[in-house]
Structures are given as C-alpha cells and as structure tokens.
Amino acid sequence: MESFIQQMINGVSLGSIYALIALGYTMVYGIIKLINFAHGEIYMVGAYVGYGLIRNVGLGLIPALVLSMLFCAILGVVIEKIAYKPLRGATRIATLITAIGVSYLLQNLMIYFMGAESRAFPTALENKVFRFGGVSINNQQIMIILTTIFLMVALQVIIKYTKMGKAMRAVSTDMDAAQLMGINVDNVISFTFILGSALAGAAGVLVGIYYNSINPLMGVTPGLKAFVAAVFGGIGIVPGAMVGGYLIGLIETIVSAYGGSMYKDAVVYLILIIILIVKPSGIFGKNTKEKV
C-alpha cells in the first residue's frame, strides 16, 4: 500500500506538468478549433528562459517562473499573429501543417542558438525530502503540485468571473454570434494564446527543476502526451484537460513502477487510440454530429 501511495504522489507531480500543457491545447481548440502542435515547443522555450534567468541572471525560482510565463505569453501571441491569423479562414489541414512547421522552426532555432546537447538545469530549490512512514515527498514535488493548483484556480477564476473570460466562453460557443454582439474576436483569440502559452512556460520551468535536465527536443513527447490528456478529458473543455493530465500522469507512473517502464509511452498512445474509437469526445465531452 505504501508503494502504491508513493506512486500516486509521483503520478500527481508528473500529471501536474501534463495538465498545464494540456490546458493550452484545449483552450486554443475550444476557441478556434486549432490543434496547436507548436505548444510543446513553447513549453521547451519556457524551460530555457527559466534556465537563463536562474543561471545567468541569478534570479530566484518564483521571479524566473513569472518572467518565463510572460516571455512565453508574448511568444504565443507573436506566433498567433504571424502564423495562424492569416490562415483563420483556411482549411484545418493548412493550419495543422503550419502548426507543425512552427514546432520544427522553434526546435531548430533553439538548437542553433543554444546547441543540441542537454543542459543541467540550475538548482533553484534545495532538495528536501519529507518522509511519512514508507512514503516520501520532496519539496520540488510540493512546489510543482501547489503551483499547478494555484495556476488552475487562477485560470478558472479568469474564465468564470472576468469580462474577458465570459467573452472566451461566448466565442467558444458561437464565434459569429459573439462577433455580432460586439465582442472583439481577435482580442479574445490573442488572450487565449497568452493564457495557454504562459501555462506552458510555467510547466517548462517546473519540469526543469524536477528532472534537472533540458534540451531543444524536450517538448515533443510531453507535448504529445498533453495532447492525449486533452483528448482524454475532452478537448475544448478546461476541466477535462486538468483531469486528463492527472490521469495520464498517474497511468504512466504506475505502468513504470510495476515493470513497464519501456512501454509507458506506448500505453499512453494506446489510450488515445481506445478513446478515439470508444468515445472520441473524451470523458467530459458530448458526442455531436458535424456536418461536412
């Protein structure tokens, strides 16, 4: 039982990272029906920005986290304005290919400027382990879990109780009707990219302190798994992304703990296939017919 509880703690820590990244996928899809496959690379950029601020500037963890979120928010808006906005009326396959192209562009830019090798993330939080019987949790895991909960609560407050949040919900329901009601759709879309990219930047810094290693390709696998989490919970639905992220993290950790570490990625992608076959709308989604 103690071993199982320990794996649950590990799974929640990992799931927090996936949940933060998945929120960006699900918000952007909910607004403009775009699967932003460059989102994993924004998470990677956030890790490098945090690395530079802590190692070269000497900032503490919290200031580096906030500035990384700000940088990634700006990057997200720039990408949206340059790469996605001109294709607003294009086919979905065109925007999807563009997103993949932006993903590879960010990867190769980071390789060009920072090199392809992995880098050790600077120690920004002294490692302390707290033991409760046979179960242990370190302060890095506590930091990740608490930061994720705070950001998720803040996101829910923004979406539920602010004017922009109400506009986001209106645009998500019916973009044309929202525009007729006087809502500036372009501003809403930009704000959505700001929120999603900022959360990805936070996830990048948190994973840096957790795994103590970053590299230019670090966004590929977590990005795909976060996409699986978003689909699992119901893409376009914010609570679904949160739940999906935690479930994927728990499943991956439990599979690894009980002898399947070589197959943990395959299990996650198998889950995606099963979901798409059995319930494509996800846990919280509703099956709707789409006219072609």
pLDDT in tens, 37-71: 899 999 999 999 999 999 999 888 899 999 999 99
Q: Are 236 and 284 in contact (CB under 8 A)?
A: no
Going by pLDDT thresholds of 50, 70 and 90, the confidence category of residue 291 is: very low
Average of per-residue pLDDT across 278-282? 85
Average of per-residue pLDDT across 128-157? 88
For the chain, how long is the longest CA-to-CA vector?
61
Amino acid 292: pLDDT = 42
CB atoms within 10 A of CB 21: 31
Tell me the pTM.
0.91
Please identify which residue in the block is written with the tokens 């460059």: 38
Q: Give the CATH fold of the 2-121+143-278 domain.
A: ABC transporter involved in vitamin B12 uptake, BtuC (1.10.3470)
What is the C-alpha to C-alpha distance for residues 41 and 225, in angstroms, rounded to an integer?
A: 13
Residue in 249, 286, 289, 291 with CA at minimum distance from that of residue 271:
249
The answer on pLDDT for 208 being more than 60 is: yes
In tens, the pLDDT along 74-122 reads 999 999 999 999 988 888 889 889 999 999 999 999 999 999 999 999 8
What DSSP string runs through 167-203?
HHHHHHH-HHHHHHTT--HHHHHHHHHHHHHHHHHHH
What is the C-alpha to C-alpha distance for residues 176 and 87, in angstroms, rounded to an integer?
A: 17
Q: Are 25 and 36 in contact (CB under 8 A)?
A: yes
